[in-house]
Amino acid sequence: MSNISLFSKLGSSAANYKKNLNSQGLKNLQNTQLGDVAYSRLSNLADKFGLGGYLPQRQLGSFGKIVFVASSHTVRTFDALARNINARTASHEVIGQKPILEFLGPDADDITFTMNFNKLLGVDPLKEIEEVAKMCREGQAEQLIINGKPFSEHKLLITSISAAMNTIDNRGNVLSASINVTLKEAPDIPKVVITPKQGGDTNAN
């Protein structure tokens, strides 16, 4: 069999595999140590034959329309993920003594992470930054999904982003950039049920 026929057969098989693949099954497989190793080896083998594009991208998580992926063609990931857990308190002044601190309840968590964008890794830095900035300006609250699970009990709202253009070529094109993203929990407004009073007005004459 000629090399052309071999590559044609491999390409056809890979295309059928991608078409018929159960994405949920792959996701469940990748969440196991054995599955992760198997996927990595399969990805390396596919890259050697130029067929890496036929494999599904490995999704690390998502935040709304932003999908965190790491593949041989596209890298859009996060780094330095951190959560600040806070409490709400009230301070009551006492003459001649230290103030008394009263616990009021839990406060909304703050979550931060960094994203790096590079044209050599298959993404347009300016478009990626604008997508995140749009979510911030429009106040879109979304679930942060990491490894298939919500990272927070509630949806999160982007409160601020800080962007840096790290590499610019001699034509003014941004080749790499990074952003620091700050999010805050945005719980749904609790529903208030008003129960009407029973009976009429007993004070009426």
pLDDT of 50-67, one tens digit each? 655 555 556 688 899 898
- The residue segments making up the domain with residue 127 are 57-188
Which residues does 46 contact at the CB level (< 8 Å), separation at least 6?
14, 52, 54, 55, 72
Residues 47 and 73 occupy one common structural domain: no
Residue 197 lies in a domain: no
Same domain, 48 and 61: no
Q: What is the pLDDT of residues 9-25, one digit of tens each?
A: 545 554 554 454 444 45
83 & 139 share domain: yes
What is the total count of domains within the chain?
2
Q: In angstroms, rounded to a whole number, what is the distance separating the alpha carbons of residues 72 and 102?
A: 53
Same domain, 133 and 91: yes
Same domain, 29 and 120: no
Residue 50 lies in a domain: yes
Question: Mean pLDDT across the chain, nearest whole number?
Answer: 79
Q: Indicate if 76 and 151 belong to the same structural domain.
A: yes
The partner residues of 62 in beta bridges, in order of sequence, read 67, 145
pLDDT single digits (tens) 91-106: 999 999 999 999 999 9
